[in-house]
C-alpha cells in the first residue's frame, strides 16, 4: 500500500470524525448567548467546512490527483 | 446557591453571571477588544491573500514556469491529513473550555495537553512540507506567496501553542475559576481563528 493511499485513508476517516464532532459541538453551542458564543459558532461552522474540504481532497474530488 | 441545583448550560450561565458588576463590565470590554484583535489579524491575512489572488489570476499558467519547467502542484494528501490534525485541535480546545466551564479540571488538563500536542504535530507537518517543497521563497511568485502566507500562519500556530501552554499553567495555578475564565475563552477563540485561517489557505494553495 502506497504512502499516498494511507494518507488519503487517514484524511478521509479523521475528517469525518473531526467534522461530526465539531457539528455536535456547534449544535450544543446553539442555545448559548453572548458575543463569544456567536464568534465560536461562526468559527466552528467554518472549521466544519474545512473538514468537508479535507474529505473531498481525500477522495480526489478537489485538488490535484496523485 | 442556585448554581448547585442547575445543570448543563443553565449552571454554566449562572456561574458566568455570578461575578461582581465591575468584572462583568471589563470582561465584556476585553472580549470586544479581543474580537477586534482577531479582526485586525483577518485584515493582515486578507492583504497577503489578495496579493496572492492577484498574482495567481494575472499569471498565464499556474503553477508558474521556472527555468523552463512548470512547478508541480502541492501534495494534497499529506496536507489534508495535516489540516485535519489542526481542525482536530480546534475540537479538543473546545472540549477543554467546556470541561473548565463544567468544573472538570482533570478533563480540561487532558484536552488542553492534547490540543498543544496536535498544534505541535501540525507545525511538524508544516516543517515536513517546507523540506519537501520543490520550490523556494525567492524562485517564483508561487513560492513567495506559499512560504509567506503559510509561514505567517505557522507563526500564529507557534504563538498559539505557547499561549495555550501559558493558559494551562495559569489554570493549574488557580488564576481562573468557574466564573472567571476570560483568558481561556480568549485562547479558545484565538485557536479557532487560527484553524479557520488554515481552511482558506488549504483551499487556496492545495485544492484550487
Res. B1: pLDDT tops 50:
no
pLDDT tens column, B71-85: 888 889 999 999 999
Residue in B with minimal Cα distance to A62:
B207
* CB contact (8 A) between residue A53 and residue B28: no
Q: What is the CATH number of the domain that holds B19?
A: 1.20.120.80
DSSP A41-56: HHHHHHHHHHHHHHHH
B91 min Cα distance to partner chain A (Å)? 6
What mean pLDDT value characterizes chain A? 90
Query: Are the CB atoms for A63 and A54 separated by under 8 Å?
Result: no
Backbone φ/ψ region at A2: left (φ over 0), alpha (ψ -120 to 50), beta: beta
DSSP state of B102: T
On chain B, the residues whose CB falls within 8 A of the CB of A54 are: 80, 83-84, 87, 202
Which residues span the domain enclosing B92?
A: 2-207
On chain A, the residues whose CB falls within 8 A of the CB of B74 are: 64
The predicted pLDDT at position A65 comes to 57
Q: Does residue A36 lie in a domain region? A: yes
Q: Domains in chain A: how many in total?
A: 1
pLDDT tens column, B109-133: 999 999 999 999 999 999 999 999 8
Which residues span the domain enclosing A7?
A: 3-58
pLDDT tens column, B132-188: 988 888 888 999 999 999 999 999 999 999 999 999 999 999 999 988 999 999 999
The predicted pLDDT at position B67 comes to 84
Residue in A with minimal Cα distance to B72:
A64
Q: Does residue A47 lie in a domain region? A: yes
Q: What is the rounded CA–CA span in Å between residue B45 and residue B42?
A: 5
Indicate yes or no: pTM above 0.80: yes
Q: Does residue A64 lie in a domain region? A: no
Amino acid at each position: 500500500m502506497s504512502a499516498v493511499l494511507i494518507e488519503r485513508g487517514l484524511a478521509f476517516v479523521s475528517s469525518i470524525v473531526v467534522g461530526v464532532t465539531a457539528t455536535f459541538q456547534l449544535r450544543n453551542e446553539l442555545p448559548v448567548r453572548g458575543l463569544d458564543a456567536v464568534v465560536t459558532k461562526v468559527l466552528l461552522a467554518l472549521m466544519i467546512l474545512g473538514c468537508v474540504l479535507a474529505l473531498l481532497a481525500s477522495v480526489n474530488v478537489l485538488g490535484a490527483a496523485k | 446557591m442556585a448554581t448547585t441545583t442547575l445543570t448543563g448550560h443553565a449552571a454554566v450561565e449562572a456561574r458566568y453571571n455570578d461575578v461582581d458588576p465591575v468584572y462583568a463590565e471589563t470582561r465584556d470590554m476585553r472580549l470586544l477588544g479581543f474580537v477586534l484583535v482577531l479582526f485586525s489579524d483577518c485584515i493582515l491575512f486578507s492583504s497577503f491573500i489578495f496579493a496572492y489572488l492577484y498574482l495567481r489570476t494575472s499569471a498565464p499558467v499556474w503553477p508558474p514556469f521556472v527555468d523552463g519547467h512548470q512547478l508541480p502542484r502541492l501534495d494534497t494528501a499529506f496536507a489534508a491529513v495535516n489540516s485535519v490534525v489542526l481542525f482536530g485541535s480546534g475540537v479538543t480546545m473546545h472540549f477543554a473550555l467546556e470541561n473548565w466551564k463544567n468544573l472538570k479540571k482533570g478533563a480540561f488538563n487532558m484536552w488542553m495537553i492534547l490540543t498543544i500536542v496536535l498544534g505541535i504535530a501540525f507545525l511538524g507537518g508544516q516543517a515536513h512540507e517546507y523540506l519537501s517543497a520543490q520550490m523556494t521563497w525567492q524562485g517564483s511568485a508561487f513560492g513567495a506567496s506559499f512560504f509567506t502566507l503559510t509561514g505567517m500562519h505557522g507563526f500564529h500556530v507557534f504563538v498559539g501553542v505557547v499561549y495555550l501552554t501559558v493558559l494551562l499553567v495559569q489554570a493549574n495555578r488557580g488564576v481562573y475559576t468557574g466564573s472567571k475564565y476570560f483568558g481561556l475563552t480568549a485562547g479558545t477563540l484565538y485557536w479557532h481563528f487560527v484553524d479557520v485561517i488554515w481552511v482558506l489557505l488549504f483551499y487556496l494553495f492545495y485544492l484550487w
